[in-house]
Amino acid sequence: MFQPLGLFAEVPCPQGRECGLLTCMFKHAECTSATISRSPNIASNFGDSNGHVAKKQKLEDITPAQNRPSGSLSKQSSFQLPMKEPISKLGSKIPSENPHSNATKLSSASRAVSPPTSTRPKPSSARHESSSTSTSLGSTPTRLPPRKVRKESLNPRMLTKAPANHATRSAILDKLHGAMTKLNAKLVDSKDEANRCFVLNKDELVTMALDEEEKVARENFSVYSNIIKLRIVKLTKLALEDWVNEVKAHLNTRYYKIKPQLSSESASVPTSIDTGLSVKEEIAVAALLITPLDGLEEHGYVTKAPTEAAIETARQGVLDSKGWEKCERCGGRFQVFPGRREDGALTSGGQCTYHPSRPFHPPRKRTDNVTGSSETYFPCCSETVGASAGCTKASTHVFKVSETKRLASVLQFKTTPTQPEKGKLDPVSFDCEMGYTTLGLELIRLTAVSWPEGRELLDVLVKPVGEILDLNSRFSGVFPEHFASAVPYDPSTSSSALASDQRGKPKSMQIVQSPAAARELLLNLLQPETPLIAHAIDNDLNACRIIHPTVIDTVILYPNPAGGLPLRVSLKALARRFLERDIQTGGDQGHDSKEDSIATGDLVRVKVRELWKRLKAKGWTFENDELVPPTGSDTLNIHKLAMSLSPSAGHKRKSFASS
């Protein structure tokens, strides 16, 4: 009736192979009703130019669609074939390309009438199928099926709790897609034929951008804007080879369900940091970053061991409470039975129902006085605070002890002793993992690496004093099978020499029989003046019951922009921002204490690099690996300069150093 304008020519037909229209306005496969009706070769087989059907013409004489020459279309494209049956039924009678093969007789016809699965150009798709190499898709060169790309618009996907409004997400998504499009265009223009199969079509580019934006929105809700903007900036500076590797990982994960596997070398070697200094020179500059702990006792830093009288008071208080504690996860009251109750129970109260993530408070907006402020919710399940008791269940309740004298009642604190026979020792970066027991939160893994090299010095499991309630595996990365397969500690054998699993953690870790034994192993690496590096070092020192006078805490070195302690920035966020490194990505598999130790040490190296630039500009030099100030300089002012280094432009740092 009306001449179609072709507005829907690139849109796949909603009916697919069930479509019975002779001239459908939507896009079909090559041998559809529209194609047959527009082909003069096929039309001549069915009738004359007036549309009269030849009754004795056989369907076997029809030329297959894929065998027609490209120039076979003519002005008779408006010809319509008068047929009572849809073309989808006639397609089964069309022969294949090879008439001698009965097994594949219907293959070409079935492909011709199947609905379109991708708008990817044929040459690129063919190259991708034929070049499924072992480097991108596995060690065995197999012929993989074509990618089925779902056609999507460049519109942010709907989330239960969005990190920003739709307009903001759309603007960010446009920039992300634009950066990817430019890289894809460079790949098209490149002369490297080996990587031509990784050129993405427009639908695949949209899908890749949507996937990445959605992942950041889900996993980094509170810092969504910062993370995605840094990602866009990184894409604008990305090399073509790196872009090819990212496309490989995306294709493997998205279409072939193959998780990218890193080699053991690439997984264990972190991103290098160039400070322009030797190891001894870095240690000399790091001495100016020592964190004074005086005045920080109210934030959990222990600078003096509790007295025996205070410890006895704590023990008596535990006896008087008859084991009643407050659950660290759900906030409920329960009773704990160290040594087990008569019936074998360790705790009362049954299962613990809780939210594993902390509540998130959405930032205030200018329109809150009109629309109302956003409700606080839990990122783990997106439920509003107060809507439910929790989304996760645990077999027992757990508790944490923070009071210094009560910690000392289990194991007394010990100050780092002097070891004259060992001389001066290099700095140590360490990290502790804790699990819940009947005595609170106890040390279950201790890892230490050298600084600044990151060489492993110590990595052991620790048998706690109390009975284990929960290994806190979601954060600690320690599971029951680690304890089941552990071997006694042998100083002559390092943990790295043991067999490792896919995540790089030893299958058979070494174990020591008490936190006191683990503490002695760490103290053997230290002198009182040896810099000890950690993130939130108060937690690690308290777990080990160590009082060390010379520490570098990255929590204080990189303070929270909102005002410093007690607010803290997570190690994961700092590593991503200042090291461009993703850590703690194991999900439910927990953290890797060795990875955390190396990342903490590298954050200190970033500060060393910044400080040395300032010192060098003021005339400081090195002589025999020792810092030499310029004539007339004030060492105290240099120390204040070191402690006032801002972690980022525009953020004012709250100094905790005493004058």
- Classify burial at 30, counting beta carbons within 10 Å of its beta carbon; exposed 0-12, middle 13-18, buried 19 or more: middle
pLDDT digits (tens, 9 = 90+) for 565-602: 889 999 999 999 999 888 888 777 888 999 999 999 99
DSSP H/E element including 519:
helix 515-523
Location of structure tokens 């430019």: 182
Cis bond before residue 417 (omega within 30° of 0): no
Distances in Å between the Cα of 89 and the Cα atoms of 63, 110, 401 are 16, 11, 75
- Section 529-533 average pLDDT: 97
| pLDDT band at residue 323 using 50, 70 and 90 as cut-offs | very high
Length of the chain: 659
Decide: helix, strand or coil at residue 297. Answer: helix
Residue 265 confidence (pLDDT) above 50 = no
Residue 499 confidence (pLDDT) above 50 = no
What pLDDT does residue 507 have? Answer: 64
Distances in Å between the Cα of 310 and the Cα atoms of 9, 184, 639 are 83, 67, 37
* Higher per-residue pLDDT: 50 or 302: 302
**For residues 72 and 218, what is the distance between their CA atoms, to the nearest angstrom?**
52
End-to-end CA distance of the chain: 90
Location of structure tokens 């379109």: 116
pLDDT digits (tens, 9 = 90+) for 607-644: 999 999 999 998 899 998 888 888 766 655 555 566 55
| pLDDT band at residue 525 using 50, 70 and 90 as cut-offs | very high
What pLDDT does residue 372 have? Answer: 78
DSSP-assigned letter for residue 35: H
**For residues 323 and 333, what is the distance between their CA atoms, to the nearest angstrom?**
10
Give percent of the chain above pLDDT 70: 73
pLDDT digits (tens, 9 = 90+) for 42-89: 333 434 444 444 433 433 343 444 444 444 433 333 333 344 344 333
DSSP H/E element including 377:
strand 377-378
* Higher per-residue pLDDT: 379 or 275: 275
For residues 638 and 589, is the Cβ–Cβ distance under 8 A? no
pLDDT digits (tens, 9 = 90+) for 223-255: 788 889 889 989 998 989 889 989 988 888 887
**For residues 129 and 145, what is the distance between their CA atoms, to the nearest angstrom?**
7
| pLDDT band at residue 162 using 50, 70 and 90 as cut-offs | confident
Residue 312 confidence (pLDDT) above 50 = yes
Contacts of 446 (CB under 8 A, 6+ apart): 430, 432, 433, 458, 459, 460, 462, 518, 521, 522, 544, 593
Helices (H), 434-496: 473-476, 480-484
What pLDDT does residue 261 have? Answer: 54
| pLDDT band at residue 25 using 50, 70 and 90 as cut-offs | confident
For residues 425 and 442, is the Cβ–Cβ distance under 8 A? no
What pLDDT does residue 151 have? Answer: 85
Q: Phi-psi bin for 632: left (phi > 0), alpha (psi -120 to 50), beta?
A: left
pTM: 0.62
What pLDDT does residue 18 have? Answer: 80
Q: Which range has highest mean pLDDT (103-117, 138-152, 346-360, 369-383)?
A: 346-360
- Name the token pair of 54: 């030849």
- Section 305-331 average pLDDT: 95
**For residues 251 and 136, what is the distance between their CA atoms, to the nearest angstrom?**
9
Residue 132 confidence (pLDDT) above 70 = no
For residues 402 and 300, is the Cβ–Cβ distance under 8 A? yes
Residue 488 confidence (pLDDT) above 80 = yes
Residue 177 confidence (pLDDT) above 90 = yes
Of 173-187, 255-269, 483-497, the least confident = 255-269
| pLDDT band at residue 288 using 50, 70 and 90 as cut-offs | very high
Task: Quote the mean pLDDT of the chain.
Answer: 78
- Name the token pair of 364: 């205030």
Location of structure tokens 């490297």: 192
What pLDDT does residue 496 have? Answer: 52
Report the greatest alpha carbon distance in the chain. Answer: 112
Residue 100's Cβ-side half-sphere holds a number of Cα atoms within 13 Å equal to: 0
